[in-house]
Structure 1
């Protein structure tokens, strides 16, 4: 196995990092203070991303994307992780699940999303269901040849900008040895569809400006043409396209941890106490050593899981391990960086307290740490019949 980056992969890293430093960093303070991304700023980031040729870089060249493989895309996300999520959202990585589009959906949703003419959002989480997808109450029933959707979704990232939303809803039940379970279908729902409302969600301490929205469906009528994949085939669509999104969370956590570590390292080399730089104290220097070791470990674990996907190897457990370790590593790194900065670490004059706050959500979304541990342990025990 080769652990180094190719010349092309290193160019990807250098290009995206430069973009984040020059096009994202300058706006972070404003977004942090206002909780909003000015429309003109978001549009500028989108246009510059297109000029670079990186918009929808996670899509194959056959539909107009850059055709990056999973490993290369993880490198992109790692560098984007250094910047504000509210701003890097406009770098443009539509949901890969749109590759399940068929017939008229390709021209109506897939290709406009890849070209940056339309933005999408993914809606799965519900107030009473959370990580238990089978418990969702948002449902769709047949009526006169159409589907009628009712219910609500929350914590929906990016929905304020979305032209359409990819929604998972219950469309019936099936009997299983463990009792009845919901059948799930995926729908494409356009903003402005009668009976469909997008409204402001909750105020979060993590990722200011990167909003979560509430979606409400009140007798929202959709034709069969809006079904993504097959009726009752939502899990098949989900398992084919979505589980690799955990790599994104892991990769972005690594990128953010490296940026945070740079602050800790530079501060330790310049801040003086008791007549010497604080990095000279073993209590600080050993913390730096531990931080970097953990970051490197999370980095290799994440890239290895992406590599397995590219090689066509089973990767569910490895992806879960990467997501689990990288997000919990980020929590430790941000907390230690804040500790090294002392009281100033908590002040808004420095970005440290922002990194600390932002890190908290990573252990929750895209599958909590507990869900990842369940995936890992299940993968270990099932072959033994346990």
Structure 2
């Protein structure tokens, strides 16, 4: 693995950071105060992101995307992680799950998403089934050439602004040595489909302006042609998406932590107490040293997973290790940053409290820390079983 950046990658980092500083960061306070991103601002950012070549950077060039490799994409996500999560929505990276589109689905969903004409959201989580996807109760029952869907999804990000939904629902059962196991099918569902209701969810303390919703399905009829992937094989579709998404979460945590360290370092170098800058006290300087070390370790885990993905050798535990360490690292780093700022660290005008507050959700969504530990330990133990 080459730890150095190519000239193209260095230019990418500089370009994305400049875009964040000029097109996104100026609106952070507005989003924090209003808990919303104005539709016209979304359009403005989207247009400029498309012009800059950042939209759909994760999609292959032959489909109209940017064609970035995993390492370059991780570098881009790291820089985007330095700003409000809600604003990043307008710098679209369509979910890789849409690569499962076939036939007419390609022209109806995949290509418009790559061009920025349509955006998607993913509907997995339910009120009674968070990380335990096999216990989902949303059911899709086949009736001839249609499925009839009933159930509720919640914590569905971007559902309020998405044009269509990638839905996962229980579509049957199979008997295994451990008893009955639900079969899952994924569907493409257009907003406005009869039987689908989208409701705004409860307010969250993390990522203001980034809303999650509830989806209520009541006898919602979906043609068989709306199946994404193969019938009863929705987990195969989901598993291809979850790894890349967990790497994105980990990478953005590194970017956010780097910003927190920069802010804390500047404060420590200028804030004076007892006749000297607080950075001269070991209680502060040692925190900065620990923060820098942990950030570097997390970045290496992230880049290792991205590099292995490019080599075709990445495994689930690589993504899990990166997400586990980077998300928990961010919690420690932002907490140290608040402590270094003291009382000012909790003031909204400073911005450190936002990083600290937003860090909490990273250990929960896209697979909790406990799920990541389960994936890692299972990979360690599997060779010794049976």
TM-score, length of structure 2 as denominator length: 0.99
Aligned: 1:172 with 2:177? no
2: distance between equivalents of 1:12 and 1:170?
A: 42
Query: Hey, what does 2:353 align to over in structure 1?
Result: 353
User: What is the CA distance between 1:199 and its match in structure 2?
Assistant: 1.0
User: What is the CA distance between 1:60 and its match in structure 2?
Assistant: 0.3
1: distance between equivalents of 2:373 and 2:22?
A: 38
Aligned: 1:135 with 2:135? yes
Query: Hey, what does 2:323 align to over in structure 1?
Result: 323
Query: Hey, what does 1:299 align to over in structure 2?
Result: 299
Query: Hey, what does 1:79 align to over in structure 2?
Result: 79
Q: Which range moved further: 246-255 or 135-144?
A: 135-144
Query: Hey, what does 2:250 align to over in structure 1?
Result: 250
Matched residue SS, 1:188:
strand
User: What is the CA distance between 1:314 and its match in structure 2?
Assistant: 3.3
2: distance between equivalents of 1:314 and 1:84?
A: 29
Query: Hey, what does 1:225 align to over in structure 2?
Result: 225
Aligned: 1:312 with 2:323? no
2: distance between equivalents of 1:184 and 1:81?
A: 32
Query: Hey, what does 1:112 align to over in structure 2?
Result: 112
User: What is the CA distance between 1:174 and its match in structure 2?
Assistant: 0.8
2: distance between equivalents of 1:177 and 1:249?
A: 35
Q: Is 1:206–1:359's contact at 8 Å kept on the other side of the alignment?
A: yes
2: distance between equivalents of 1:161 and 1:93?
A: 15
2: distance between equivalents of 1:341 and 1:52?
A: 36
2: distance between equivalents of 1:187 and 1:373?
A: 30
> What count of residue pairs does the alignment treat as equivalent?
386
Q: Which range moved further: 173-182 or 278-287?
A: 173-182
1: distance between equivalents of 2:77 and 2:349?
A: 27
Unpaired segments ≥5 residues, structure 2 = none
Q: Is 1:119–1:162's contact at 8 Å kept on the other side of the alignment?
A: yes
User: What is the CA distance between 1:213 and its match in structure 2?
Assistant: 0.7
1: distance between equivalents of 2:30 and 2:38?
A: 9
Q: Which range moved further: 302-311 or 136-145?
A: 136-145
Deviations 1:17-64 (A, max 9, x none): 111111111000010001010111111000000001110000001110
Matched residue SS, 2:82:
coil
Query: Hey, what does 1:122 align to over in structure 2?
Result: 122
Q: Is 1:96–1:242's contact at 8 Å kept on the other side of the alignment?
A: no
Deviations 1:115-138 (A, max 9, x none): 000010011000001001111000
Spell out the pairing of 1:4-19 with structure 2 (5 A cutoff).
Answer: 4-19=4-19
Query: Hey, what does 2:192 align to over in structure 1?
Result: 192
Query: Hey, what does 1:261 align to over in structure 2?
Result: 261
Task: Give the ranges of 4+ consecutive aligned residues of structure 1 lying more than 4 Å apart after TM superposition.
Answer: none
2: distance between equivalents of 1:241 and 1:270?
A: 44
Deviations 1:148-190 (A, max 9, x none): 0100100011111100000000001111112111100000000
Matched residue SS, 1:243:
helix
User: What is the CA distance between 1:252 and its match in structure 2?
Assistant: 0.3
Q: Is 2:160–2:198's contact at 8 Å kept on the other side of the alignment?
A: yes
Q: Is 2:242–2:366's contact at 8 Å kept on the other side of the alignment?
A: no
TM-score, length of structure 1 as denominator length: 0.99
Matched residue SS, 1:197:
strand
1: distance between equivalents of 2:328 and 2:370?
A: 12
Query: Hey, what does 2:35 align to over in structure 1?
Result: 35
Matched residue SS, 2:336:
helix
